[in-house]
Amino acid sequence: MNRIHFDISGIQNSEIKTQLKNALDKVEGISMVNIDAARGSIEIGYNPSTDENSIRSCIENVGCNILNQSNE
């Protein structure tokens, strides 16, 4: 399983956090989503066949901005 970490802005409340988690759960190949609203970060576990661009697009479509990315 690959893991990726994003620092993001736009998680103002639990409703947006829930929307983001639900949206990412629908992306094929994502097996883990950990959102830390206090730190403004998200960690995602996904299959190697999953396209990272689809993960980024999903985050941005919910209304969050990606500030930084690191692969683990």
Give pTM, 2 decimals: 0.90
Query: For residue 72, what pLDDT is reported?
Result: 65
Query: For residue 2, what pLDDT is reported?
Result: 95
**What's the token pair of residue 56?**
């980024």
User: DSSP of the chain, one letter per residue?
Assistant: -EEEEEEEE---SHHHHHHHHHHHHTSTTEEEEEEETTTTEEEEEE-TTS-HHHHHHHHHHHT-EEEEEEE-
Query: For residue 40, what pLDDT is reported?
Result: 93
* Domain boundaries, given as residue ranges, for the chain: 2-71
Task: Indicate if the pLDDT at residue 54 is higher than 90.
Answer: yes
3-state SS class at 10: coil
pLDDT tens digit sequence for 11-47: 988 999 999 999 999 999 999 999 999 999 999 999 9
As a whole number of angstroms, the distance between CA 38 and CA 23 comes to 20
CATH architecture of 2-71: 2-Layer Sandwich (3.30)
